[in-house]
Amino acid sequence: MSDWKLLNTSTASGASSVEFTDLTGYKIFKFVFIDVNPATDSTNFQMEGSTGSFGVTKTTTAFSAYHYESDSGAALGYEAGHDLAQSTSPQPLSGSVGNGADECAAGELHLFNPSSTTYVKNFYSKLNLYGSDNHTGNWFIAGYFNTTSAVSAVRFSMSSGNMDAVIKQYGLVAS
């Protein structure tokens, strides 16, 4: 655990997005998301990569477990509405996050060897959210940027509107 190096901390306040523009020097990066609070209710926290411009082709999987505070529903299932098949759209890392004053999401994303010019770039994430309709949601996303070009930057945003958040970038295994 002690081999993770904290590289950067970004504190967003009413930001449309947060970018991390250096993905070199480490073979594995981790991004940790703390207190992600959207300005717009029921929006997804999402991620995009750049090889010079954002909109890299991705294929991904998505599943989640949810449970309502009212105990009216709880389940584990695949989330077909949140995966991508060779799409250049941003990848949701969560379902609908609530924008109440005390509502937020938290979690982390691992990105493997984004500097590779040989292989596709794999990633996986795990987030927990306070849903806009008062449920907890545990979201798991995985997939790959389907490019052999280096992914040089990543961008995090909400699917609509601005956000408050603390996002930390770590590196593991010096290349």
Which residues contact another protein (rule: CB under 8 A)? 1-8, 10, 12, 15-22, 24-26, 32, 34-35, 37, 65-71, 74-76, 101-107, 126, 128-130, 135-138, 155, 157, 166, 168-171, 174
Name the nearest CA neighbour of 171 among 24, 33, 67: 24
The CB-of-143 to another protein minimum distance in angstroms stands at 19
The CB-of-129 to another protein minimum distance in angstroms stands at 8
DSSP states along 86-147: EE-SPEEEEEEE--STT--EEEEEEEE-TT-SSS-EEEEEEEEEEBTTSEEEEEEEEEEE--
Nearer to another protein, 120 or 142 (CB): 142
The CB-of-130 to another protein minimum distance in angstroms stands at 5
